[in-house]
A and B are shown apart, each in its own frame.
Chain A
Amino acid sequence: MAEVQVKDSSGKGGKVRSQKQPPHVDLTPMVDLAFLLITFFMLVTTFNKPNVMDLGLPAKPKDPQQQPDTEIDLSNSISLIIGKDNRIFYHQVAAADLNEQTLQETSFDREGITKVIEQAKARAKDQTKFTVIIKPTDDAVYKNFVDILDEMAITKNEIYGITDVKSNEQAVYEKKVGATSAPAAPAADTN
């Protein structure tokens, strides 16, 4: 194995020497170190991969006139409007009934938006068709958008759409944002 071969040099007048034990090295610390490094490299190689979430976009219709005008039953859908300062609003009413009272505000957490979506889904006439319509305003940031997509994954909503805010919704949203926390002059773009 790994013992060092010590030659019996039986010369020099034939003195009787005590048999020398071959020296042995304690390898335990070296093995410890090696395993420590192995563990480190194993962890590093598996954890430096970031997570990803899938996003599929709908194809653009070749002819803008041919947009299918799908009318969704109001109870089967919920519109989420993502606003500034991480605020989120939702409503389930027709365009004509939308005002500052019907556009409600919630928060980006389990108690807020998750509950809202789940309750709306439970109330839906046809749960298989329950659609979440995501409408980020121009004040939204990327994080809000990803949070909402994440929320879709949490609430297991397969059907959701991402569209622009309609002008009447924009108007109500601006009123509401202005009414609740009259912000100072809109922050100028720092670009």
Chain B
Amino acid sequence: MARVKPKRHNIRVDMTAMTDVSFLLLTFFILTAQFNVPDVETVTTPSSISEKLLPDASLMTVLSTTDGKFYFTPVDNGTERMQLLDKMGEKYGLKFTNQEKVEFTKVQSVGVPMNQLKGYLNLSEEDKKAFKSQTGVPLDSTNKQLIDWVQQSLAVNPGYKLAIKGDVETKYPKVKALFEGLRDIDFLKFWLITSQEVAQ
């Protein structure tokens, strides 16, 4: 007796489930992706062999450009930014309106001296984008506003970390002034942002 052969039909895998999963993951990644906001000014960081990645923790960033200007990026948290602005206002005898405070929570970084900050905050979005600071945040032996920003941020929350993103061509005396200023306020541990060493 010949066995009854089951009727062959070509194998077809149902891909619906796989598609579901992959799109679920896709949506997750799209939603969690944080796109890099470009820096105020382009900065080429030096390379190092360090493999440590920049943590997400509440982080302030100091950007130092080629011609020795400093920009200060406060932490992302809006309420803490407002507190910071209040403290800086107190220190420099400035009163900020609520409108200005709200603007301050949105700015990417501070690149103007305190006396110009009000004017900067009142610029329109487009003007802010096009704004190129002539001076950056001042930092010299008599006018240590950059250090004050760091100090007042720490006063809001002592747990903040600081990262310094310097340009390859920044003159060392500028960097030294920053380090010395940080030593003055006893803030001794921070990170230098570098790029991955390219294999030679």
Contact = CB atoms under 8 A, between A and B. Distances in A.
Contacts of B34: 45, 48
B54 A141 contact: no
B168 A28 contact: no
A45 B53 CA distance: 12
A149 B16 contact: no
B183 A141 contact: no
Contact of B46 (A31, A142, A154, A190): A142
Interface string B1-40: 0000000000010111011001101100110111110000
Contact of B54 (A30, A49, A191): A49
Given A52-B191, A145-B175, A1 B14 contact: yes
Nearest to A53: B50
A57 B194 contact: no
A93 interface: no
A53 B52 contact: yes
Nearest to A42: B29
Contact of B168 (A30, A38, A141): A141
A96 interface: no
Contacts of A149: 48, 192
A51 B15 contact: no
Contact of B193 (A50, A136, A139): A50
B172 A144 contact: yes
Contacts of A179: none
B22 A34 contact: yes
Given A31-B18, A38-B25, A54 B188 contact: no
23 contacts: A1-B14, A2-B14, A24-B12, A31-B22, A41-B26, A45-B29, A45-B32, A49-B53, A50-B45, A50-B54, A50-B165, A51-B194, A51-B195, A52-B191, A53-B194, A55-B192, A57-B188, A138-B171, A138-B172, A142-B46, A142-B170, A146-B46, A150-B194
